[in-house]
Homo-oligomer: A and B are copies of this chain.
Amino acid sequence: MTFARDDLGLRSETIRRANLSAIVRQLHGDGPLSRSELVARTGLTRSAIRGHLGELVAGGAVSERRAAPLGTPGRPSPLVCPEPESAVVLALDIEVDSLAAAIIGLGGDVLEHIRVDRPRGHSSLAAIVDDLAVLAETVRSRRTPRLPEVGIGVAVVGVVRRADGLVSTAPNLGWVDEPLGDRIQAVFGTDVPVSVANEADLGALAEARRGVAIGVDHLLYVSGEVGVGGGLIVDGQPFTGVAGYGGEIGHILVRPDGLTCRCGAVGCWETEIGAVSLLRRAGRSPRGGRADVDALLDDAEAGVPIAVAALEETGRWLGRGLAGLVNVLNPRLVVFGGLFGRIHPFVASLVDAELDRSTLAAPRRLVRVVAGSLGAEAPLRGAAELAFEPLLADPALWMPLRGAGVMSRSAKLALRRVVA
């Protein structure tokens, strides 16, 4: 059966690209799959899969390998595998007390990784980007020849405008309206797209794609150290609000007669659940860092009353604010990251009790609260997912890369249009 283009109202090149995208997205997200699994998951015909795989194998993006025999009769079907080194991204992470860089391959494997401490407090945009450039060169130079980089993803503890990577505010860095995306593009001298997002948004993305929340369509990720951030996955897609500023769950009012927040408002949730209040409640310096929190957790483990009481009070406030968010957002799963992932074992039952008390029955029945499985690396892993997005949306643009060793100029321009 054949039919004319006009019968369809669609163009064949559009369809080819959409099909390639569906296939590469599956392989990147779900790892090695048989052709039958690809047919089932993409909804494409077997012969369409065959044709497109030929193209992808020739382009070096995937390979087909014989699976290990499973002890069942007959030959196992070959598995289609993404080739991690065929296209990599550079992932960067700017946290309050550390910086990190990683090279992550198609399929999501971390190929190279480095994380270094940074002193708390304010730093200029220039200083941080220079430090990141050194880290990037460190991980890149571990591979000769250099791996083909198709994008840069950046996680940052700040409120980010997705369109251009402007950091509207990052109180812990002392930033207001800093052009992080542009600065990285300039200092790194790169032509590949640079995508920037809030670290909690990316933590949510990573836990949903690679962590404890795989397959969870409605997810609320709650993370923090000093600041408190949130990431939302709605219907399987990251929710960012109209300009990427969404998810600032640390700044909901929970206590009108409470403390003044760094944001200027009074009684924000962050003032009751962040690391500062936890340390203060435990009689420690509120300026303490990760090591002080670890010491506090050791104390609590040993039954030191003030440490136990501090965690309990923090846990109750965690539950109280969370109850309202569960009513508003009706998530299937709440994932605790950062500080909250670490204190989860101590506060889980108190959080659950507050949810029982203060959440409407219907959303309460559906939600569970768990600690994330990617720990402190969740935002970095999410930054990689973000950086792969232009490639996954249109792999055809990137396939010329393999032939020439570098991307054609037109492919680069097209890629940047996809991102813009």
A7 engages B48 (CB within 8 Å): yes
A5 within 8 A of partner (CB): yes
**A251 contacts which of B1, B252, B324, B331 (Cβ < 8 Å)?**
B324
Q: Provide the bound-state CA to CA distance between A61 and B323, in Å.
A: 47
B265 engages A242 (CB within 8 Å): no
B325 engages A328 (CB within 8 Å): yes
A410 within 8 A of partner (CB): no
Residues of A within 8 A of B (CB): 1-10, 12, 15, 19, 44-45, 47-49, 51-52, 159, 161, 168-169, 217-218, 230, 234-235, 237, 239-257, 263-266, 268-269, 320-321, 323-325, 327-332, 357-363, 366
B264 engages A357 (CB within 8 Å): yes
A7 engages B361 (CB within 8 Å): no
**A159 contacts which of B19, B49, B362 (Cβ < 8 Å)?**
B362
Question: Which residue from chain B places its CB closest to the CB of A19 in the assembled complex?
Answer: B9
B362 engages A323 (CB within 8 Å): no
Question: Which residue from chain B places its CB closest to the CB of A230 in the assembled complex?
Answer: B328
B2 engages A327 (CB within 8 Å): no
B360 engages A323 (CB within 8 Å): no
Smallest Cβ distance from A310 to chain B, in angstroms? 18
Given contacts A2-B5, A159-B360, A360-B159, contact A265 B44 (CB under 8 A): no
A358 engages B3 (CB within 8 Å): no
Q: Which B residues are in CB contact (< 8 Å) with A48? A: 6-9
Q: What is the count of identical protomers in the complex?
A: 2
Given contacts A239-B234, A253-B358, A358-B253, contact A245 B363 (CB under 8 A): yes
Q: Is the interface of A mostly helix, strand, loop or mixed?
A: mixed
A8 engages B12 (CB within 8 Å): yes
Given contacts A3-B2, A45-B9, A242-B217, contact A251 B321 (CB under 8 A): no
**A245 contacts which of B2, B19, B244, B366 (Cβ < 8 Å)?**
B366
Q: Which B residues are in CB contact (< 8 Å) with A239? A: 234
Smallest Cβ distance from A120 to chain B, in angstroms? 21
Question: Which residue from chain B places its CB closest to the CB of A218 in the assembled complex?
Answer: B242
Q: Which B residues are in CB contact (< 8 Å) with A45? A: 5-6, 9
In order of increasing CB-CB distance, the 9 nearest A-B pairs are A241-B330, A9-B48, A252-B324, A246-B330, A168-B362, A9-B44, A265-B358, A218-B242, A248-B327
A265 engages B361 (CB within 8 Å): no
**A265 contacts which of B254, B332, B357 (Cβ < 8 Å)?**
B357
B2 engages A253 (CB within 8 Å): no
Given contacts A242-B330, A245-B330, A329-B246, contact A360 B253 (CB under 8 A): no
Given contacts A1-B4, A245-B330, contact A321 B254 (CB under 8 A): no
Q: Provide the bound-state CA to CA distance between A167 and B8, in Å.
A: 42
Q: Provide the bound-state CA to CA distance between A16 and B53, in Å.
A: 27
Smallest Cβ distance from A234 to chain B, in angstroms? 6
Q: Which B residues are in CB contact (< 8 Å) with A243? A: 330, 362-363, 366
Of the listed residues A4, A12, A255, A328, the one surrounded by the most CB atoms of chain B closer than 10 A to its CB is A328
Q: Which B residues are in CB contact (< 8 Å) with A244? A: 330
